[in-house]
Amino acid sequence: MTASLGAALGSTYLPNLSQAAPASSGGPKRVIFFLQNQGFDPATCIPAGMKNSGSLAKVKLPEPIEALEPYKERLHIINGLHGKHTSPSHSAFFGALGGYRGSDGVPPSGPTIDYELSKILPDTLLPHLCIGMDSMENMTAKPTVANLSASGAGQPIFMHSNPNHLYQMLYGGISQGDIRKQHEARSSMFDRIEQLAGAKGGTLPSTDKQRYNQYVQGFNDINGLRQRLGKVSDHLRKFAPEVDGRYTKPEFETDWHDNLLDLGISALKSGITSVLTVGSGRGEIFGAWKGLGIEKQGHNLGHMKQPDNPIWIKIRQYNSRMLVKIMEELESVPEGSGTMMDNTLIVYTSNNGQAQHTSGANWPVMLLGNCGGIFKTGQFTQLDGKRPINALYSTILQTTGVQSDRFNMSKKMAAKFDSGIGPIKELLA
């Protein structure tokens, strides 16, 4: 399907989906992280009465995740990981995907797992795409924020929250009318800023040059991506979502949430990216879902108990429908001897464990997809609370062929927070 894309670029930026290795070769070829803010109470995902590890085949999923009932054979519910070392009250911010201490205003102390995977998985035009969903006011006022992903210490990665901007970045070069005009205007502006910034940077004191060079590099990356996308315009036309009134005249913030998800899925299906990070609530304590009939928003949602709460049932059901949509869309694209979903892992959790105000003693996670039989699915696993979320990330890394005894955790930290080493065996087939 994308053989012509690689040829057009004269490089290996994108995997050849039509000739991808069979799923039996093992390991994910793409990974999706979906983080819901305000916590993930295990009672909203563990079937009633299920206390010990076992099969999901003969149990009914709780109401908040009932949309996943037809997909139980692809689901693995995990309870008993921890993130006590991440200081997750309100949010662990970068620490949720980094496995280190994170808090409001604390810069990342290292790369996050989504970025690390983007360096390992098949090369793509945009190795890593982050999208963030929030209230209409927040997404409009701050269309990009950086709270969850990082490429290294002090190097945050921004989430895209305005679907109009993201559409222009990904598909502006193949669009017509106003979208094309806006794309060309923004491209010209970015080119000019990069030139001016590069020239002015030479006069700065040496202490400021590193930070300034990162700023210049950011514009260089944007412009480079636009140029590369322009070379594969014919291919991208097959995957660009239809632009409707929800982009420019959304009735609710959930219209933009849906648009952003569509753009993320299209980036995966087209091969633009191999790692997608979705931040519902953008890793903070805010967020709104008025389109679901929920008037309450923001911090107060985290002070509500989630089990049997009609508000949280609606939010979690909305998340579950999004997960189903991702699976169905990837299932529709052939890859190797199966489909894209056969080679995809979806990781669903929260950016602050089981509740908004928490020590991080429990960090529930749901996995979707077995990646050619590498991961166990169709079951619930109850762990003993002695292994950190870092161990889950090490497990994912090892399935990609990277030896990883620990992820972002020194031996000294591991002695205090990890009872084991290497992958979590209960998760692997």
Which tens digits make up the pLDDT trace of 340-354?
Answer: 999 999 999 999 999
The pLDDT value recorded for residue 222 is: 58
Which tens digits make up the pLDDT trace of 36-78?
Answer: 999 999 999 999 999 999 999 999 999 999 999 999 999 999 9
How much is the mean pLDDT over the chain?
87
Average pLDDT over residues 269-294: 96
The pLDDT value recorded for residue 227 is: 72
The SS3 call for residue 373 is coil
The pLDDT value recorded for residue 230 is: 72
Instruction: Provide the token pair at 311.
Output: 């508000």
The pLDDT value recorded for residue 201 is: 54
Residue 32 CA, chain-centre distance (Å), reads 5
DSSP state, 57?
T
- Position 274, amino acid: S
Q: Are 317 and 329 in contact (CB under 8 A)?
A: no
Residue 260, pLDDT above cutoff 70: yes
Which tens digits make up the pLDDT trace of 172-225?
Answer: 866 555 555 554 445 554 455 455 555 555 555 565 555 555 544 554 565 567
State the Cα–Cα distance between residues 273 and 17, nearest whole angstrom.
Answer: 12
The pLDDT value recorded for residue 7 is: 34
Q: What share of the chain is helix, strand, coil (3-state, %, to 5)?
A: 45, 15, 40
Which tens digits make up the pLDDT trace of 211-239?
Answer: 555 544 554 565 567 677 777 778 888 89
The pLDDT value recorded for residue 182 is: 57
State the Cα–Cα distance between residues 163 and 253, nearest whole angstrom.
Answer: 11
State the Cα–Cα distance between residues 105 and 234, nearest whole angstrom.
Answer: 42
Q: Residue 347: in which H helix or E strand, if any?
A: strand 344-350
Domain spans of the chain, in order of start:
1-17+30-46+66-79+115-143+167-271
- Position 99, amino acid: G
Average pLDDT over residues 409-427: 96
The pLDDT value recorded for residue 177 is: 58
The pLDDT value recorded for residue 293 is: 97
Which tens digits make up the pLDDT trace of 129-152?
Answer: 999 999 999 999 999 999 999 999
Instruction: Provide the token pair at 115.
Output: 């970025």
Which tens digits make up the pLDDT trace of 300-330?
Answer: 999 999 999 999 999 999 999 999 999 999 9
Longest dimension (CA), the chain: 69
The pLDDT value recorded for residue 59 is: 97
Q: Are 182 and 190 in contact (CB under 8 A)?
A: no
DSSP state, 159?
E
DSSP state, 67?
G
